[in-house]
A and B are shown apart, each in its own frame.
Chain A
Amino acid sequence: MRRIIGAGVALGVSAVLLLGPVSPALAANPGEPLKIAVTLNGQNIKDATVPVDPGHPVELAVTAINNGSSVVRVRSIRLSGVALALTFFAYDTTVPFDVPAGGRATRTLVLDLADIDGQAIGLLPSSVEVLDSQRNVLGGASTVTDVRGSVWSVYGVFGLALLVLTALAWASALLALARHRLSPNRWRRALRFLPGGFGTGLVAVITLSVLRLVPPVPALEIPVVLGAAAIGLLLGYLTPHPGPRAPANPADDNTISLTTRRFDAATEGHTR
């Protein structure tokens, strides 16, 4: 069980570390040529939590403002939900239009998000981005969507699995501490508590948003996870040495058959 928990948390770590750098949501380009204003079902998404119901189409209005000196050609608009640099849903719609220099253009789309029911649930950091023909991000706006999806969606199961695995990781580590099952090596003990701490950080970021308990803050997700992992590591480091084992290890308490040879004291080796 301990290995399964460790593997689960390690999988989460690997996913974050490996997938994080290639995620488009975090690949924000400070030199984006367009400023984007977005309304979802008529509600401005800036500093707001926008409800998304898979049972109803979403009216997405994107206003692109070009403060540059040349025309910007937009090819498509993407709506995506990202947590911990993992994309849980993404909808691309091809809408070719030009934004003239110093001008603005507004396009309204109606998206059918029925599939999101199986992809996400809860409070999820989301973004609306406009892309050019090379799929470069021309501009975007971020918000928090309140997805009314299924608990059995990818994001929902991920969040609940993290909660269960983290609880098991803590239970396993604390029971090992109480029962003298930790390693005599202090750093190994610290590593034994690392999954619990790391999992706690993931729960704080993922599970609490799945359960709609705490709205996510994308900029703080990684620091929260790493901070919790560091606290777990510190607690493990502070654990005591497990002490001497109970006497009479059965492995060497029984009379066994031995083959002995003369010992050569000069070389400390065995010779026939």
Chain B
Amino acid sequence: MTAPAAMAAALPQYTIGEKIGSGGMGVVFAGTHRSLGRQVAIKQLPADMADRAGVSEQFDREARVLASLDHPHIVPVYDYVQSGRDNLLVMERLDGGTVYDRVQFEGVTGEQACAITLAMLAGLHAAHRAGILHLDVKPKNLLFTTQGVMKVADFGIAQVISEGATLVTHGGEVLGTPAYIAPEQAMGNALSPAADVYSAGTVLYELLSGELPFDNTRGAISMMRQHMFTDPRPIHGVPMPLAGVVMRSLARELPDRYREAESFATDLAAAATAVYGAGWLERSGVPVLHLTPRVMASLAGPSGARADERTVVTAKPRVAGPDPTRADLDPRPPQPAPPTPSALVPKLVAVAALIVLVALAFLAPLKLPHAAVVNVTVGGTPTPDPIPVDLTKPITITGDGVGQGPVNVTLELSAVGVPLATADSAAVTPDKNGHFSTDVKMPSLSRWIVGGAVTGEVRWTRPGQDPVVQSFTALTDQAPMASAMGAGSLLLALFALAYLESGLRTVRNGHRWRSGRFGGPVLGVLFGLSFWLLISVLNSYEPSLLVGLGCALAGAVSAGFVVLATERSARLRRRG
């Protein structure tokens, strides 16, 4: 989109380029000063806003104040033109992307989040002192220069605090961003610098925890209502006293919140020093300039100036942990955060364990050793050789050496000792040579349960004698996947993988998988067992307990190290 002709006419000293952005604040075009060659961004207010009565005067007054702001963390305004219906602001052009972009594509560490917030608060404090509220602080309005200096942009909906007048926005239409809007702004109540403190606190909450303090799944209206009527969720995964500072900046009631950006910055600097250790600001790599003496003092640690010496006593903010008072600040010399080890080693271990799992499953023995105890045939085939059995038809069992008198013959199918199906014959009387022959009908349900090869046992007991047991390898006739052992193990393996991926995704999204260290290996055990059983059924391997345990162990190791590798990768990505 090219610039309208009216804009080019209104700014003859600039070459107007392409549109580089748009939003509730209007449209932004790239531009170049013809004689100086300076790259600029030209913002054009929305036409419908320009039509409203009094807006031009307000914009005129606001632009003058904005142009007077000179702070390294505020995007400077070079020029301002009103021409016809056009209200144009010429500002510095920043090409280093936004904080939103950095969070989305690179992630930010805790130190970087605190440094970005300090820079933001420094800019906001300067604006507040000049009588301007931002009222639309959010990651997309925090821009980086190509040198990495962050500047607060888009004071487009700012309210001018003029001559100490009451900061009241009476009912009417204003602009705001639901995810970051202060409760009093959403309700149309009186506004003060605390509204920007709230939005800045929301940004810090998001940068540190990776999520917003309210449920953002139910749309903009719900988000606004939550800001107005609900306390924010306690922040998780952020140590004290930093969590306390964040939650205090988000207090719904004004008396509980920092009243000004400088107080917030002072407490934040002290808390970050306590958590991340001295020198955290330098380590973050985010330039923070023009800090006030109070903030500088608190950066030095607990021995510095008390951050809230000019702050009224407030109720305790809600945090996920102990009381966030200044007494919680660790008086010991702060330790630098330990470096995150590489994710390569756990990845390699996980892959190796997975290879072991697959190898064990495929290299399992075809049949288990079964000693010949007595002379028994099943379906006409002598035991203990592998014997095909049809679970839908009666199975003929013959045996010798039973002795005199009727006996009940039992046929049991099992896998690694887990009984799958059992059937008893009617009482059978052996002939004079102790030979018998009987039919056994397996339960109907067994045809849906048993698949592949399993362990069969023919057993009979005579009163006063130990049971006679002859085990053998039973090869079921039906299709392996048409059984719970086949299809069920496949579904369980997929379920374990999906469950594991769900947890890993949580970690990759920058959140904690609270039960990951325990749940990962458990899911690995489930996957290992399911995979082993699936391969055993498909290949008609008689299930072996040792191989099953080996697969379960390999699965646990693999999944555990996958979780560890993902955690490390996510941490490294966040640290840039």
Contacts and interface: CB of A to CB of B under 8 A. Distances in A.
A3 interface: no
A56 interface: no
Contacts, number: 156
B180 to A, nearest CB: 8
B495 A252 contact: no
Contact of A215 (B211, B220, B392, B506): B392
B189 interface: yes
B347 to A, nearest CB: 19
A258 B505 contact: no
A247 B104 CA distance: 9
Interface string B91-117: 000000000100110000000000000
Contacts of A272: 171
A246 interface: yes
A249 B179 contact: yes
A258 B216 contact: no
B329 interface: no
A244 B210 contact: yes
B331 interface: no
B171 A260 contact: yes
A240 B498 CA distance: 11
B288 to A, nearest CB: 23
B178 interface: yes
Given A255-B177, A260-B169, A177 B136 contact: no
Interface of A is mostly: loop
Contacts of A253: 100, 138, 140, 177, 179
A180 to B, nearest CB: 6
Contacts of B157: 255
Contact of B498 (A178, A224, A258): A178
Interface string A131-165: 00000000000000000000000000000000000
B172 interface: yes
A208 B392 CA distance: 14
A215 B174 contact: no
Contacts of B206: 247-248
B511 interface: yes
A47 B484 CA distance: 25
A263 B491 contact: no
B185 interface: yes
A256 interface: yes
Interface in A240-272: 240, 242-249, 251-263, 268, 272
A169 B217 CA distance: 25
A248 B100 contact: yes
Q: Which of B25, B220, B511 has the most chain A CB atoms closer than 10 A to its own CB?
A: B220
Q: Number of contact residues on B: which range applies?
A: 35 or more
Contact of A213 (B187, B482, B506): B482
Contacts of B296: none
Q: Number of contact residues on A: which range applies?
A: 35 or more
Contacts of A235: 495
B139 A256 contact: no
A213 B479 contact: yes
Interface string B184-227: 01111100000000000000001000111000110110011000
Interface string B17-49: 000000111000000000000000000000000
A220 interface: yes
Given A246-B509, A254-B24, A256-B175, A220 B445 contact: yes
Nearest to A244: B211
B159 to A, nearest CB: 13
A255 B136 contact: yes
A257 B185 contact: no
B69 interface: no
Given A213-B479, A239-B499, A263-B228, A258 B174 contact: yes
Given A244-B210, A272-B171, A261 B188 contact: yes
Contacts of B175: 255-258
Interface string B531-542: 000000000000
A177 B498 contact: yes
Q: Which of B103, B223, B448 has the most chain A CB atoms closer than 10 A to its own CB?
A: B448
A126 interface: no
Contacts of A230: none
A272 B170 CA distance: 10
Interface in B441-462: 444-445, 447-448
24 contacts: A174-B498, A175-B498, A178-B501, A179-B505, A220-B445, A220-B448, A224-B445, A224-B448, A240-B519, A245-B216, A247-B211, A247-B212, A248-B206, A249-B212, A251-B223, A252-B179, A252-B220, A253-B138, A253-B140, A253-B177, A255-B24, A257-B173, A262-B171, A262-B188
Interface of A: 170, 174-175, 177-180, 200, 204, 208, 211, 213-215, 217, 219-220, 224, 235, 239-240, 242-249, 251-263, 268, 272
Given A178-B505, A240-B503, 20 more contacts: A174-B494, A180-B506, A204-B482, A213-B478, A217-B447, A219-B444, A244-B211, A248-B100, A248-B103, A248-B179, A249-B179, A252-B178, A254-B177, A255-B25, A256-B178, A257-B173, A258-B186, A258-B224, A260-B171, A262-B171
